[in-house]
Chains A and B, each alone.
Chain A
Amino acid sequence: MDELLKLSGVVTHIGSYHILHGVDLSVRRGRVTMLLGRNGAGKTTTLRSIMGLWKPRAGSIVFDGTPIGTLDTPDIARLGIAYVPETMGIFSQLTVGENMKLAATTARFNAARLDDVFRFFPILKTKWNDRAGLMSGGQKQMLAVARAIVENRRLMIIDEPTKGLAPAVIDQLIACLLELKARDTTILLVEQNFHMAQSVGDDVAVMDNGRVVHTGTMAALARDTELQTRLLGLSLAAHQ
């Protein structure tokens, strides 16, 4: 199977806390993989371990044939991985434009990509010269996603982009992700919003207590309410 990213037995500690107990996860090329699970299951910690922001103590992380488990964060990012953290990581003192400039790998923007960004999120063009810290939560999330797509990247890792956002903004994000998906972008997406998960997800991995406890397709999980209740504590329908 064509795996772009593969985690095997990843064990991560945060300080003296043992958080990940051997995570196995694969992300297939050109597909959207949903990482689901209850709050505190270890989803964010898994993403941070992939990015090298926490260093795994055991196990392996392989990206397109390259072991990245011991690399530093900048070197991992340079392999072509975009990361949108749960906290969005917006530089609030910088303008929207400056945030975007830092996300571009060269001093010049890729014009086609920038057009895409403005088409998905027109507000960013309007606010280009405003300080990013002055924007609303939804606009900041758009900027966070925009930074990830302003370059052509091989993998996008996005942590709960819809958290706390209004439905209209969520629809905008879904439209953006669907278009990226149509272009065969590989995405690893953590999401609690089931409407979004169902709209964009191909594959699914469910975490509980620091392990991946279920893998399969999104379609199969969406059909199986009993499985949802067992894995997530709630059914998809209840989430909508």
Chain B
Amino acid sequence: MKRDWPAQLLLPVFLLAALPFMSFSTWLTLTVAGAAMGMMLFLMASGLTLVFGLMDVITFAHGAFISLGAYVATDVVAAMPEMVASHSWAAALAVLAAALTAAILITGVSGWIFEVVIIRRVYGSHLRQILITVGGLIVAQELLVAVWGANPIPIAKPAALQGSVVIAGASIEIFRLVAVALGLAVYVCLQLVLSRTRLGLMVRAGVENIEMVEALGFRVKRLFVAVFIVGCALAGVGGVMWGIYQGLVTPAIGPEMMILVFIILIMGGMGSVGGAFVAAILVGLMTNYSGFLAPKLALGSNIVLMVVILLWRPRGLFPLVKS
């Protein structure tokens, strides 16, 4: 990402701007909560932004993969009652790791099937992509209900991840810190792969000019399938974390998040992982700050934020050039 100071300063400025409206400890609690939510949103959005950037593919079915990840987590967590009840960190992390692994595998394979059966047929036509993926979403939600039932399923937080720590007078939920750490780790890994590996180079080049990447001899369509699978798996990871965070999983848990996910993609600049990262944190913070200051305006405030950013940068914070 090029050095773009105004866009990079936005986040710190936003953080500081909220401070005068509340006490420091409240601000800190809300900021960590916002960062945690932002990280989970980033997990859901990061794959989608690459899917769009690389092949210009719009999918509305992404929310189903978030739900699927959350449902897989309910089963994995329910299957490990002793470890969930244990207060040891190792047990808690083992539960989390098991849930994440299972979700990655299952959402990854489902994503692969979805690409081959549906997405592949509608390359190049946004209208058909929208219609068919909205249809796919409805079918996927019915499938989730068929497997897990229509009733909400509770999901227990591992004991060691419950409760809070007090930092600088602010009470901070441990699970939120874990979510922040996981989101940061995924962000760093994605950026390393994109900037340091040949595969990452191909993705970045493909986002800009897919024909030229093909003319250099790379089979971009295969690469796209891989990116799509990774995107779905990351949505699954986001779903696991969001499901545990909410404590209750419904078929709508993923699709509900998609409004915010699309706001993030548009705000960050479609196709930009760095943009999605910044925008996700902004949305997480905005949701929490406004939820505290004016609870009724929580969703509306994000839309206002998006509109303001688009007035300033019509193509998002970190737009990509297509040539």
Interface residue ranges, A against B (CB under 8 Å): 51, 53, 72-75, 77-78, 83, 85, 87, 89-94, 98-99, 101-103, 105, 107, 131, 133, 147
Contacts and interface: CB of A to CB of B under 8 A. Distances in A.
B201 A133 contact: no
Given A75-B219, A77-B217, A87-B323, 17 more contacts: A72-B214, A73-B214, A74-B217, A74-B218, A74-B220, A83-B215, A89-B209, A89-B215, A89-B323, A91-B212, A93-B320, A94-B201, A94-B204, A94-B205, A102-B213, A102-B216, A102-B218
A147 B208 contact: no
Contact of A103 (B207, B209, B216): B216
Interface string B195-213: 0001001101101110111
Nearest to A77: B217
Contact of B204 (A75, A90, A91): A91
Nearest to B209: A89
Contacts of B213: 102
Most buried by B among A74, A98, A103, A147: A74
B86 to A, nearest CB: 46
B17 interface: no
B216 A147 contact: yes
A77 B205 contact: no
A77 B216 contact: yes
A92 B217 contact: no
Contacts of A51: 215
B321 A89 contact: no
Nearest to A144: B212
Interface string B205-249: 101110111111111100000000000000000000000000000
B218 A93 contact: no
B188 to A, nearest CB: 20
B296 interface: no
A94 B211 CA distance: 16
Contact of B323 (A78, A92, A99, A107): A92
Nearest to A147: B216
B204 A93 contact: yes
Contacts of A72: 214, 219
Nearest to A79: B217
Contacts of A131: 2
Interface in B291-323: 320-321, 323
Contacts of A102: 198, 201-202, 205, 213, 216, 218
Nearest to B215: A83
Nearest to B206: A91
Contacts of A75: 219
A216 B202 CA distance: 41
A110 to B, nearest CB: 15
15 contacts: A74-B214, A74-B217, A77-B214, A85-B212, A89-B323, A91-B204, A92-B208, A93-B2, A93-B320, A94-B201, A98-B205, A101-B198, A102-B205, A102-B216, A131-B2
Contacts of B205: 91, 94, 98-99, 102
Interface in B1-52: 2
A99 B202 CA distance: 10
6 closest cross-chain pairs (CB), A and B? A89-B212, A77-B217, A73-B214, A91-B205, A74-B219, A83-B215
Contacts of A78: 217
Contacts of A90: 323
A94 B321 CA distance: 11
Contact of B201 (A83, A85, A101): A101
Nearest to B205: A91
Nearest to B217: A77
Contact of B215 (A53, A101, A107): A53
A147 B211 CA distance: 15
Contacts of B198: 101-102, 107
Contacts of B215: 51, 53, 73, 77, 83, 85, 89
Contacts of A103: 216
A89 B206 CA distance: 11
Interface in B109-157: none
Given A77-B216, A133-B321, A91 B208 contact: yes
Contacts of A93: 2, 204, 207-208, 320-321
